Chain A
């Protein structure tokens, strides 16, 4: 059942821990993804992305000299990167709320807390396949739409046409 769809995909793993890279590679292999590049930090990963097409990126957060947040920002905003829309799954043991929000604001597509399970990793990949998100470009952000839910108490900023749609409709 390992799918022909996945056999055509190219993935990139950005992780400073060799054991985690091996584990992630094995899990991707089990879906059928075989063409997988690896980098030990964001800097190396950027070089790979410029030279080789990648359909999916799995990235750690804490790495040196370039961490996963800066890497993600560069992927989204670097004019030399051929695919700023590439899905990035941030995989990290840093699950504190402020770090999750920092990852979201850097432009990650999905966030996955360690410890890794196949079920959780595949669920994030499934989310990317089933519910691809719109991208948003504004003065200080470019990346996947960060508004996944409608909050009754959302207080702005209001910078989308549809933020005002309801008021327009009423008139």
Chain B
């Protein structure tokens, strides 16, 4: 049995408020977004950013390694790394940073302290992956998989559902 709330919702149809692109121009806009030229331009734009982003990632890695036991700093720095490491071509680095962030976030949510050794392992792995990304991808992937499994076990042990 449906019970209506006292205050019903007001629905404002899409064609009654200003749109980013008018209906008349929508087809042309879609043609632009789907064009090979725009895709190529975008890829070139991303490629041009890679050297600067890689340099920035290495700076973040230095900060991460120097954060010692400052968990807030570690989380925030790892979060920055996971945000654009993959865009910089550092796929494994981003993946391990994501594992670390998810672990710390989950532990925070269940109000349990993080395992400092596990955090240190992840920080170390992020550093090694970032500095050796071009050389040893297979090893990096294996390390990331091991860390993901270890984190999953620790979360289970801590009572995370």
Q: Answer yes or no: are A and B bound together in one complex.
A: yes
* A residues apposed to B, CB below 8 Å: 1-6, 9, 17, 19-20, 22-23, 26-27, 29-32, 55-56, 62, 83, 85-87, 92-94, 96, 114-119, 122, 125-126, 128-130, 132-139, 145, 156-161, 163-164, 167
Q: Given A27-B46, A129-B33, are A138 and B10 neighbors across the interface (CB < 8 Å)? A: yes
B29 near A19 with CB under 8 A, answer no
Q: Given A93-B101, A115-B86, A135-B17, are A125 and B37 neighbors across the interface (CB < 8 Å)? A: no
Segment with Cβ contacts to A, from B49-57, B61-69, B115-123, B140-148: B49-57
> What is the CA–CA distance of A1 and B37 in the complex, to the nearest angstrom?
6
B32 near A5 with CB under 8 A, answer yes
Q: How far is the CB of B27 from chain A (nearest CB, A)?
A: 9
Q: Given A1-B35, A1-B37, A160-B8, are A115 and B29 neighbors across the interface (CB < 8 Å)? A: no
User: Could you show 12 A-B contacts with beta carbons less than 8 Å apart?
Assistant: A5-B29, A23-B87, A30-B42, A55-B20, A115-B83, A115-B86, A126-B30, A138-B9, A159-B7, A159-B8, A161-B11, A163-B4
> What is the CA–CA distance of A75 and B27 in the complex, to the nearest angstrom?
28
Give every chain A residue within 8 A of B56 (Cβ-Cβ).
Answer: 19
A19 near B53 with CB under 8 A, answer yes
Does B2 sit at the interface, judged by CB under 8 A?
A: yes
Does B137 sit at the interface, judged by CB under 8 A?
A: no
> What is the CA–CA distance of A5 and B33 in the complex, to the nearest angstrom?
11
* B residues apposed to A, CB below 8 Å: 2-5, 7-15, 17-21, 25-26, 28-39, 41-46, 48-49, 52-53, 56, 79-80, 82-87, 94, 98, 101-102, 105
Give every chain B residue within 8 A of A9 (Cβ-Cβ).
Answer: 20-21
Query: Taking CB as reference atom, which chain B residue is nearest A118?
Result: B42
Q: How far is the CB of A62 from chain B (nearest CB, A)?
A: 7
Give every chain B residue within 8 A of A26 (Cβ-Cβ).
Answer: 42, 45-46, 48-49
Most buried by B among A9, A115, A156: A115
> What is the CA–CA distance of A29 and B45 in the complex, to the nearest angstrom?
9
Give every chain A residue within 8 A of B18 (Cβ-Cβ).
Answer: 83, 85
Q: Given A26-B45, A125-B33, are A85 and B10 neighbors across the interface (CB < 8 Å)? A: no
A2 near B32 with CB under 8 A, answer yes
Query: Taking CB as reference atom, which chain A residue is nearest B41?
Result: A30
Query: Taking CB as reference atom, which chain B residue is nearest A156?
Result: B2
